[in-house]
Structure 1
Amino acid sequence: MISGAHVILYSQDAEADRVFLRDVLGFPGIDAGDGWLIFKLPPAEVAVHPTDGPPQNEFFLMCDDLDAQLGEFRAQGVEITRPVSEQRWGRLTAIRLPSGAELPLYEPLHPVAHGL
């Protein structure tokens, strides 16, 4: 039986991004050994979208109130890398991780499955 999902973010500065996940996003974690942190994520869901291109995977964080969340991020000095755009499925933006990678964030306008 499937008991969970494991998401991997590849980083050019893993230590700084781990600190960001712990201290800025507030995700609790465990040390899996030798400082290798694994974080508990909020509830999750998975969707399968059709594509004409090569298969790929994406990772987005979801929030209930994008404007409030962005205000919290700005107060912590987090860089918002994309202006909020209105999509048919939600309000989308992204934040900058310390490694320089972007982490997309959105407020869904669609029904969500993570509470089932």
Structure 2
Amino acid sequence: MINGAHVIIYSQNAEADRAFLKDVLGYPHVDAGHGWLIFKLPPAEVAVHPTTTTESHELYLMCDNLDQTVADLTAQGVEFPHPPEDQGWGILTTIRLPGGSNLGLYQPRHQPAHNL
């Protein structure tokens, strides 16, 4: 029986991004050996979107109050390269990871599936 999912973030600076997940977001973790941290994520959900181009996969963190989450993370020095934008289905922004990539963050307007 499938009992979880493993998400991988590829990074130009994996050590800095691991520190961000550990120290800024405060995610509990285990050390799989040699500093390879594996983080416990909040409850998750998955959606399948249609595409007519090459398939890709994305990771978005979710929150209940985007304005408050952005304020809290900004106070910790987190950079948001795009201001929050109303998408209809939710309010979306991105977090700049220390390694240089962006990670989606949104406040859904739909019922979260992870509460089922």
**Length-normalised TM-score, structure 1:** 0.98
Structure-2 residue corresponding to 1:90: 90
Residue equivalent to 2:22: 22
Backbone CA RMSD of aligned residues: 0.6
Instruction: Give unmatched runs, 5+ long, in structure 2.
Output: none
Taking the aligned partners of 1:115 and 1:27, their CA distance within structure 2 comes to 19
Q: CA deviation at 1:14?
A: 0.3
Quote the residue 2:54 is aligned against. 54
- Structure-1 residue corresponding to 2:101: 101
Give 1:35 shift: 1.0
Identical residues among aligned pairs (%):
63
Q: Which runs of 4+ in 1 moved over 6 A?
A: none
Q: Deviations over 1:78-115 (max 9, x none)?
A: 10111110001100000111011111100000111011
Deviation at 1:55, TM superposition (A): 1.1
Secondary structure (helix, strand or coil) at the match of 2:85 reads: strand
Alpha-carbon separation, structure 2, partners of 1:76 and 1:35 = 24
The residue aligned with 2:9 is: 9
